[in-house]
């Protein structure tokens, strides 16, 4: 079964073709990062307009790269939740129109659940499939989902069956990376720029707090972000009323690197602490990490040293937003859920992932 996936929930317009939930035949991602960098974050209006301009060529490119025409596509899958309304709408309208026109079954996919499925794509023929793991994860599967909008630990007993063990009570970890980068004057997106600066910094230079929460699997990052702000203010000798956008001018490169390293160390350690606790409690067969922050090398190395199992990592281009993960999840969803009528499909911008047993 060959599925064409479409993803447009934030600032990437993406389309991909995946066969049987494991073979990646094409994956096109058109990022808007260059456009949003000048504003220091994603501007929803601008994002939607850009999706509109590129979505049709991106879908066509995904078909061309897979060397397929519509007659050889069995179904269409699209992200319908969660995300920015205008952005989600463009992908959803495109998918429902194509499904209607070409008479294909349509599957509506939850973006956060789909991030986990980047780990189900495996090694095969062609340039794209060359760096992928040789086997799929096994159930029970513990997934740490860490992105710009989400931070949660999920235990999957099978496809479509999962329990949310814990989640962030405030900021997502990727969002914390983005906000801390802004405070210390590193460019958007903060994840990659903080991890680059952190290589040259001392992770123990500034003592930063780890949140303590009632549910041992929940996360919180807003206190850590504020602690970085206070530490920067104290380092440069100003009080809390000093305009925060002027703080970066007062930091030298060494201080910037040390703040990046100290923040990254604590943020990543709190993700790893909870993943290890969950691993010990539930003894899963496999552990995967998913979402944009899964690209973080410090996260990968801390997990490697603290977990007794090997983790197969998806390549970085499949950790950040893409449509291959959407088309991949759709294959498994199709085994237990009927397709949706294209005329009935609606977006759900704030629909969270909830336990489904």
Size of the site for ligand KG4 (CB under 6 A): 20
Report if residue 26 touches ligand KG4, rule: CB under 6 A. no
Report if residue 174 touches ligand KG4, rule: CB under 6 A. yes
Per the structure block, which two tokens stand in for 156?
A: 């999957």
Query: Measured between alpha carbons, how far is residue 265 from residues 6, 223, 259 in Å?
Result: 35, 15, 10
For Zn ion, the closer of residues 147 and 256 by Cβ is 147
Task: Please give the angle made by the CA atoms of 262, 265 and 271, to the nearest 5 degrees.
Answer: 145
Which of ligand KG4, Zn ion, none does residue 192 bind to, with CB < 5 to 8 Å depending on kind? ligand KG4
For residues 221 and 236, give the distance between their C-alpha atoms in angstroms, rounded to a whole number. Answer: 23
Report if residue 12 touches Zn ion, rule: CB under 5 A. no
Counting other chains too, the contacts that 33-41 makes at CB distance below 8 Å and 24 or more residues apart are 33/188, 33/189, 35/11, 36/11, 36/188, 37/187, 37/188, 40/182, 40/188, 41/178, 41/188
In the block, which residue shows the tokens 């974050």? 41
The distance of closest approach from Cβ of residue 283 to ligand KG4 in the complex, given in angstroms and rounded to an integer, is 28
CB atoms inside a 10 Å sphere around CB 285: 11
Name which of 167, 154, 150, 174 is nearest 286 in CA terms: 154
The distance of closest approach from Cβ of residue 9 to Zn ion in the complex, given in angstroms and rounded to an integer, is 7
For Zn ion, the closer of residues 19 and 321 by Cβ is 321
Show contacts with Zn ion in window 91-150 (CB under 5 A). Answer: 147
Which of Zn ion, ligand KG4, none does residue 190 bind to, with CB < 5 to 8 Å depending on kind? ligand KG4
Show contacts with ligand KG4 in window 183-242 (CB under 6 A). Answer: 189-192, 195
Pick the binder of Zn ion from 143, 232, 321, 339 (CB under 5 A): 321
For residues 109 and 82, give the distance between their C-alpha atoms in angstroms, rounded to a whole number. Answer: 9
Of 50-58, 136-144, 280-288, 320-328, which segment contacts Zn ion by CB under 5 A?
A: 320-328
The distance of closest approach from Cβ of residue 246 to Zn ion in the complex, given in angstroms and rounded to an integer, is 32
Name which of 188, 174, 156 is nearest 278 in CA terms: 156
Q: x/- binding map, residues 298-327, to ligand KG4, per CB under 6 A? A: ----------------------xx------
Size of the site for Zn ion (CB under 5 A): 2
Which of Zn ion, ligand KG4, none does residue 185 bind to, with CB < 5 to 8 Å depending on kind? none
For ligand KG4, the closer of residues 21 and 149 by Cβ is 149
Q: Coil, strand or helix: which one is 302? A: helix
Question: Is the CB of residue 130 less than 8 Å from the CB of residue 123?
Answer: yes
Which of Zn ion, ligand KG4, none does residue 320 bind to, with CB < 5 to 8 Å depending on kind? ligand KG4
Q: What is the dihedral of CA 283, 284, 290, 294, to 10 degrees?
A: 40
Tell me which residues touch ligand KG4 (CB under 6 A): 10, 147-149, 174-175, 177-178, 189-192, 195, 291-293, 295-296, 320-321
Tell me which residues touch Zn ion (CB under 5 A): 147, 321
């Amino acid at each position: 079964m060959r599925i064409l996936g479409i993803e447009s929930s934030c600032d990437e317009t993406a389309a991909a073709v995946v066969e049987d939930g494991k073979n990646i035949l094409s994956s096109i991602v058109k990022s808007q990062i260059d456009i949003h960098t000048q504003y220091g974050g994603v501007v929803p209006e601008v994002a939607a307009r850009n999706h509109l301009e590129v979505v049709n060529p991106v879908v066509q490119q995904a078909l061309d790269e897979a060397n397929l025409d519509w007659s050889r596509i069995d179904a269409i899958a699209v992200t319908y939740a969660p995300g920015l309304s205008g952005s989600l709408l463009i992908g959803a309208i495109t998918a429902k129109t194509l499904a209607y026109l070409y008479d294909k079954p349509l599957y509506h996919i939850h973006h956060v659940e789909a991030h986990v499925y980047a780990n189900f794509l495996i090694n095969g023929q062609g340039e794209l499939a060359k760096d992928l793991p040789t086997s799929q994860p096994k159930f029970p599967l513990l997934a740490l989902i860490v992105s710009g909008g989400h931070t949660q630990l999920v235990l999957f007993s099978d496809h479509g069956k999962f329990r949310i063990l814990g989640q962030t009570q405030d900021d997502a970890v990727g969002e914390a990376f983005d906000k801390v980068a802004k405070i210390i004057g590193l460019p958007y997106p903060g994840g990659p720029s903080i991890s680059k600066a952190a290589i040259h910094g001392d992770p123990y230079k500034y003592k930063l707090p780890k949140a303590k929460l009632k549910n041992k699997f929940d996360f919180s990052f807003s206190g850590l972000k504020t602690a970085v702000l206070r530490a920067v203010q104290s380092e440069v000798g100003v009080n809390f009323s000093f305009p925060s956008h002027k703080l970066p001018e007062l930091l030298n490169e060494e201080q910037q690197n040390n703040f990046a390293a100290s923040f990254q160390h604590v943020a990543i350690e709190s993700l790893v602490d909870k993943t290890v606790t969950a691993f010990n409690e539930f003894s899963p067969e496999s552990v995967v990490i998913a979402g944009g922050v899964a690209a973080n090398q410090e996260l990968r190395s801390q997990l490697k040293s603290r977990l007794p199992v090997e983790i197969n990592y998806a390549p970085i281009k499949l950790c950040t937003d893409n449509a291959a993960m959407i088309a991949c999840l759709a294959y498994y969803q199709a085994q237990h859920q009927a397709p949706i009528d294209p005329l009935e499909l609606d977006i759900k911008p704030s629909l969270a992932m909830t336990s489904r047993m």
